[in-house]
């Protein structure tokens, strides 16, 4: 069942809410719907009509980055070299986590407010499992490395890049990619 398109004014309000929320997230401010409404100069009821919870708004803010990561996963699945495919997908994941502050809390959430978010996250898990299985089958990664191992390792890379860097997102991402390269060098089997 598809949702009917929003009226022009409703679409403008929704876009304004998302723009303000994007600024809040980028500035490290908590997403309180009443505060977003006040900053957007939109009624609180309008904000709640579009986004019933702060989590739903956060997922909406993160959506472009998550969708881009899904595209990168799909590209990786077409890469014939299993090592390159795995490496490129993990690099895209690190980049997403370190350049968009909306992404880590959405990935870390145990539940999703929006069905689409859950679908995207499940798709990423499935793609990663396939990429890792291909790398195992090709013998290019330590066979003892599991999907469950990679999640905390990726979180560790993101944490290290954030903690040891006072610069902007692009430098954090560059450091995260450097740490990922070091990790993957240790896991690679030639």
Q: Do domains 1-52 and 61-187 have the same CATH topology?
A: no
Is this prediction's pTM over 0.85?
Answer: yes
In whole angstroms, give the CA distance from residue 73 to residue 181.
18
CATH 2.60.40 fits 1-52, yes or no: no
Report the chain's terminal Cα–Cα distance, integer Å: 49
Handedness of CA 189, 125, 123, 137 (dihedral sign): positive
**61-187 maps to which CATH number?**
1.10.357.10
In whole angstroms, give the CA distance from residue 90 to residue 141.
13
pLDDT tens by residue, 126-178: 999 999 999 999 999 999 999 999 999 999 999 998 887 667 777 888 889 99
Q: List Cβ neighbours of 175 (8 Å cut-off, separation of 6 or more).
A: 160, 161, 164, 165
pLDDT tens by residue, 22-68: 999 999 999 999 999 999 999 999 999 999 999 999 999 999 999 99
**Residue ranges per structural domain of the chain:** 1-52, 61-187
Any idea what DSSP says for residue 7?
A: P
Q: Which of 90, 154, 81 minimizes the C-alpha distance to 124?
A: 90
């Amino acid at each position: 069942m598809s949702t009917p398109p929003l009226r022009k004014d409703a679409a403008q309000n929704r876009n304004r809410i998302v723009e303000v929320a994007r600024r809040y997230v980028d500035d490290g401010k908590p997403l309180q719907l009443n505060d977003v409404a006040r900053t957007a100069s939109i009624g609180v009821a309008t904000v709640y009509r579009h986004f019933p919870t702060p989590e739903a708004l956060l997922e909406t803010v993160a959506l472009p980055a998550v969708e881009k990561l899904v595209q990168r996963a799909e590209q990786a699945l077409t890469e014939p070299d299993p090592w390159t495919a795995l490496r490129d997908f993990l690099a895209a994941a690190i980049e997403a986590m370190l350049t968009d502050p909306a992404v880590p809390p959405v990935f870390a959430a145990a539940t999703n407010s929006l069905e689409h978010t859950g679908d995207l996250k499940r798709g990423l898990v499935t793609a990663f499992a396939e990429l890792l299985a291909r790398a195992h089958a090709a013998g290019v990664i330590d066979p003892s490395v599991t999907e469950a191992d990679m999640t905390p390792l990726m979180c560790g890379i993101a944490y290290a890049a954030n903690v040891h860097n006072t610069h902007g997102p692009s430098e954090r991402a560059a450091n995260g990619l450097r740490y990922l390269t070091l990790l993957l060098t240790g896991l690679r089997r030639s």
